[in-house]
Chain A
Amino acid sequence: MSPALAMFLGFIAITLWITWWAARRNTGSSAYFAAGRSLAAWQNGVAVAGDYMSAASFLGIAGIIAFQGYDGFMYSVGWLVAYLTVLLIVAEPLRNAGKYTMADVLAYRLSPRPVRAMGALSTLTVSTFYMIAQMVGAGALVSLLLKDTGIGYETAVVGIGVLMIVYVVFGGMLATTWVQIVKAILLMAGTLLLSVLVLAHFGFDLGAFFDAIGQVTYTDAQGNTVTQDFMTPGLRYTPPYGALDLISLGMALIFGTAGLPHILVRFYTVPDAQTARRSVVWAMFIIGSFYILTTFLGFGAATIVGRDFIAANGGTNMSAPLLAQALAGDLFFAFISAIAFATILAVVAGLTISASTSFAHDFWTNVLHHGRERREGEEVRVARVTAFFVGAISIGIAIVLGPSANVAFLVALAFAVAASANLPVIVLSLFWKRFTTAGAVCGLATGLVSSLVLIVLSPSILRADAVFPLENPGIVSIPLGFLGAVVGTLLRREPAAERKFAELSVRANTGLGAERAATH
């Protein structure tokens, strides 16, 4: 058995044990959907980091820096700054006024059925797009990392899908949380170790490291050998639309992270708003440290392994594992590969539970059955069945698309929908007294549709015939989402919603009457 496979199996064994442990403690809705609201700040903070840092961060950003230098590093900045929106605006009011989902806050003073139906639709759209992107990437990656063992793309996709279904169906939020915590700790340990090894390679002389970045040699598309200063901006984002595309991406990150359903549900797992706040601070510390260290991962791969070697051995996504192999041999390569695998599993499990929670709580219980469980435990049962179907559908789509499908745009789409549909209505329902049901439905619909349409018209799909020149629609779709919400609101007043604003505002700002932690 190859060391990589052994480490994969080791990680699977640990996570299955966690699931078994969590399944025995899961009793009732708040235990299943919100881990009993009893997580400590550090636990939730580390889990937020584990939920957020996908394979796209670990392998993708290291790869972009290895191939395009500084522009890749600039790309990684937005992923941290986005958490200021979460910290300053969304996390605490959401925890104080909600129960299990994003739509809880909207339904608080607006007409619950239409806003929950739209909220569930938007949540399922964001989660599904994000998940398909992860699954296709994961299948391709795992088959590449384990290529000596003969495990192919389909097997890898099915394996990952089955594992994520098992975590969520049996272990609920508690198991998902601990899988994310283990993954985040492994990811940070691996990243730190790699960074130290990169520094050791240069004799712990930062000057020598940066000098090497100034002269990276590679073969360009025409077959010429070029030496480039990788610290210079402009290798990736080139005129005429490069800067605009980057600003548009930045908008999707800064406003989208605070609208990602799988991140928002994490704030219901802590006892109160103060703990939610402290957990964002933990997450920001871990996420920030990680993205700063991508300097060593990315530039290390560029200088030590070299662009040509990476391109010949699996492409950009293999930069970090190949760097590990070059620095410390096959065993370390296996370790870093296992971390990449853990990263994918933790993220897809988080996506699955947020999608199934929203379907069960928003759509099944509140839209179809007027907020009543017809039988004890129905909501949890529906969520479990949904998790199974969400997993099965994602496996199916990932297999149909195949390993070579370009799915990077699906992540851009997920963030764009979160930023253009979810964030405007969350913010307006919390802070604008006049905001109405029509405004929320209109805002969600405009944000969702404009993001979808602009992505279809972009170079990601239409290539050279693109009608819309940017790959990231945020710069247009986010203002449209806000505009839709405002226009919908101004059509007609909704006195019932205005009357309940005082209640929402008191709850959101003081925590009076907020959902408590389960007592054990």
Chain B
Amino acid sequence: MAPEPRNTDLTPDTGSATDVAPLGRSAAKPAHERTADEDIDVADWERVAALAEFKALLAAKAKFIVPATIFFIVYYFALPALVGYAPRLMAVKVAGVINVAYLFALSQFVVAWIVAALYVRAAGRFDAMARRIVENFKARRR
């Protein structure tokens, strides 16, 4: 009886020792069990995270989001703080009965909308950077 040739076993050996997806979410599923969305193995995440483009994306996001967040928090809490601790200043009339306090409160709405609009504009840039990372990454895998 001739020995069986090797490599007739068609079971894919990627992902894990057995053919069945292991329990838990830490280990990779075998290739044939993955959906398109999951078709990325554990090691790839590390590689993407280490890309210079990805680090540039994180830096660009932080450069906008951190100052913007600090600004809107400070601007917002200035309202109750000033109304509470500088009531005379806030009661100064600007036109008719309209006082500084009312205008300051109204400005909060405008400022919130402006910050949101600026973020949406910046986020368009982040989207483009993220798209390039994903496309480059997929191209390299093929």
Contacts and interface: CB of A to CB of B under 8 A. Distances in A.
Given A231-B98, A281-B120, A505-B58, A510 B38 contact: no
A284 B23 CA distance: 42
B83 A74 contact: yes
A58 to B, nearest CB: 17
A371 B23 CA distance: 9
Interface in B1-29: 23, 25-26
Interface string B97-133: 1110110011011001101100110010001001001
Interface string A111-146: 010000000000000000000000000000000000
Smallest CB-CB A-B distances: 5 pairs? A243-B84, A214-B97, A502-B49, A503-B45, A246-B80
A196 B46 CA distance: 58
B12 to A, nearest CB: 20
B31 interface: no
Interface string B28-45: 000000000110101001
A247 B49 contact: no
Among A234, A284, A509, A511, the one with the most B-chain Cβ atoms within 10 Å of its Cβ is A509
16 contacts: A70-B102, A77-B109, A80-B112, A89-B65, A213-B97, A231-B98, A232-B91, A232-B101, A233-B83, A237-B80, A243-B85, A246-B83, A278-B120, A281-B120, A502-B45, A507-B45
Nearest to B61: A509
Main secondary structure of the interface of B (DSSP, over half): helix
A81 B77 CA distance: 10
Interface of B: 23, 25-26, 37-38, 40, 42, 45-46, 48-50, 54, 57-58, 61, 65, 68-69, 72-73, 76-77, 79-81, 83-85, 87, 90-91, 96-99, 101-102, 105-106, 108-109, 112-113, 115-116, 119-120, 123, 127, 130, 133-134, 137
Contacts of A211: 96-97
A408 interface: no
A371 B25 contact: yes
B45 A73 contact: no
B97 A74 contact: no
Nearest to A107: B25
Contact of B134 (A85, A288, A510): A510
Nearest to A85: B69
A292 interface: yes
Q: How large is the interface on A (under 10, 10 to 19, 20 to 34, 35 or more residues)?
A: 35 or more
Contacts of A511: 130, 134
B72 A512 contact: no
A84 B130 contact: no
B116 A281 contact: yes
Interface of A: 70-71, 73-74, 77-78, 80-81, 83-85, 87-89, 92, 112, 207, 210-211, 213-214, 229, 231-234, 237, 242-244, 246-247, 250, 254, 274, 277-278, 280-281, 284-285, 288, 291-292, 370-371, 496, 500, 502-503, 505-507, 509-516
A82 to B, nearest CB: 9
Given A211-B96, A510-B130, A512-B134, A243 B81 contact: yes
Given A84-B115, A292-B106, A509 B80 contact: no
B109 A80 contact: yes
A513 B119 contact: no
Contact of A233 (B101, B109, B119): B101
Given A89-B69, A284-B116, 15 more contacts: A73-B102, A74-B101, A211-B96, A246-B80, A247-B80, A247-B81, A250-B77, A274-B127, A288-B113, A292-B109, A502-B48, A509-B61, A510-B48, A511-B134, A512-B40
B98 to A, nearest CB: 6
Given A81-B108, A210-B96, A247-B80, A233 B23 contact: no
A502 B101 CA distance: 46
B76 A78 contact: yes
Nearest to B83: A233
Given A73-B102, A277-B120, A513-B38, A214 B108 contact: no
Given A292-B106, A496-B26, A509 B65 contact: no
Contacts of B48: 502, 506, 510, 512
A285 B77 CA distance: 21
Nearest to A239: B84
Name the residue among A73, A243, A370, A505 with the largest chain B CB count within 10 angstroms: A243
A514 B39 CA distance: 11
Interface centre among A92, A503, A505, A512 (most CB of B within 10 A): A512
Given A80-B112, A87-B116, A243 B80 contact: yes
A505 B25 contact: no
Given A89-B69, A513-B40, A84 B98 contact: no
Q: Which of B23, B109, B120, B133 has the most CB of A within 10 A?
A: B109
